Amino acid sequence: MRADAQNTVAEIEKSLELLAQRLNVETAQHRLEEFNARVEDPNLWDDPDAAQKLMRDRQMLVDAMETYDSIKQDLSDNVELIELGEMEEDDEVVADAEAALTALAEKAAQKELEALLDGEADGNDTFLEINAGAGGTESCDWASMLARMYVRWAEKKGYKVELQSESAGDEAGIKSATYKISGQNAYGWLKSESGVHRLVRISPYDSAAKRHTSFSSVWVYPVVDDNIEIDVNPADIRIDTYRSSGAGGQHVNTTDSAVRITHHPTGIVVTSSEKSQHQNRDIAMKALKSRLYQLELDRRNAAINEAHEAKGDAGWGNQIRSYVLQPYQMVKDLRTAHETSDTKGVLDGDLDGFMAATLALNVSGKSRAEAQEGV
């Protein structure tokens, strides 16, 4: 076997070792049998929330087992093909098998990254909050572009997207919006997006066609499972009702029963503008508990949550990523130095490369400065 093929095999084997470790492959079959036994319990659906969690956990285990077995089998098959092709001096068979190994190495590396989404809340659904920074119409338009970008990304993942609240800009775009995004590892992937995002472009709102810089902040926090207890003292919160200021249309509900909850000790403010006041109180309280839970996660695991360090004001010096549309085309993450000139693809939701780079950075333990230096 040629040296480059041997190196590819070594890469795949390394990924398999990590996948086996994360899966705990020795006990996986036994755990699946336990899941199957619980699924057959006739009383399972007496508690729908618990049943859904059980089914989701079981499916995650099944998917992990199938992924591990598939990569392991494909590796064995292609190594055998290369050895057979070399014995029979069939260069075409060898070339095909080596190409398959290269594709398998990419798949294994991606699955290795996904397996690293094992934080306490990585598997949870998530809230995504977008706020326009200083800059008026420009920043509001940029906030709406970010909202579209994340909705596109989530839809490509097959995630469910629900708009929780939205405040329209005075002339265009949005001042703020909050989404609930539901799907496997939604929070684990999106948590790397927290921070300030900077846009440089020729403004469509400037008759002089000058270049403008705009900022908007993104904040991501996990939806708290019902089995996670978060105590909120009623004396610590203020609940206000008001008329929703959303712009209406396909994605926005405008009602007279929007709810705002303010948590005095932390200054956290959450809103919801669904169809009923009762529903809004429930949604807003869940969002508040999720924010409080995120604060606790940050305290206990500050290094892993480095992505959140730039929450601050949406302005100069705090950005995590720059999107330059003029005078050249470039999106660059300032934490990992990952970049691409495909700005249209990124704004259409092609974000996996940026998320994967940040996840790998967090796992490696490198600082932002080291990443920027290419260490």
How much of the chain, in percent, has pLDDT values that exceed 90?
46
Mean per-residue pLDDT, 74-103: 94
Q: Does 101 score more than 90 pLDDT?
A: yes
The pLDDT of residue 226 is: 56
pLDDT digits (tens, 9 = 90+) for 175-209: 999 999 999 889 999 998 999 999 999 888 776 77
> End-to-end CA distance of the chain, in Å?
32
The pLDDT of residue 223 is: 83
The pLDDT of residue 159 is: 95
Mean residue pLDDT across the chain: 83
Asked if 215 and 134 count as a contact pair (C-beta separation under 8 A), the reply is yes
pLDDT digits (tens, 9 = 90+) for 311-334: 445 554 568 999 999 889 999 999
Q: Does 305 score more than 50 pLDDT?
A: no
pLDDT digits (tens, 9 = 90+) for 64-79: 999 999 999 999 999 9
How much of the chain, in percent, has pLDDT values that exceed 70?
83
Question: Which of 329, 327, 335 shows the shortest CA–CA distance to 308?
Answer: 335
* Local confidence band at 303 (pLDDT 50, 70, 90 cut-offs): very low
User: Strands of 160-168's sheet, edge to edge?
Assistant: 160-168, 174-182, 126-132, 211-222, 195-202, 319-324, 330-333, 339-340
Q: Does 306 score more than 60 pLDDT?
A: no
pLDDT digits (tens, 9 = 90+) for 153-163: 999 999 999 99
Q: In whole angstroms, how large is the CA radius of gyration of the chain?
A: 24
The pLDDT of residue 367 is: 41
309 compared with 258, residue with greater pLDDT: 258
Angstrom distance (rounded) from CA 366 to CA 121: 22
Angstrom distance (rounded) from CA 94 to CA 101: 10
* Local confidence band at 294 (pLDDT 50, 70, 90 cut-offs): confident
Q: What is the pTM of this model?
A: 0.62
Q: In whole angstroms, how far apart are CA 35 and each of 48, 50, 57, 64, 123?
A: 16, 13, 9, 14, 18
Angstrom distance (rounded) from CA 289 to CA 223: 8
The pLDDT of residue 373 is: 45
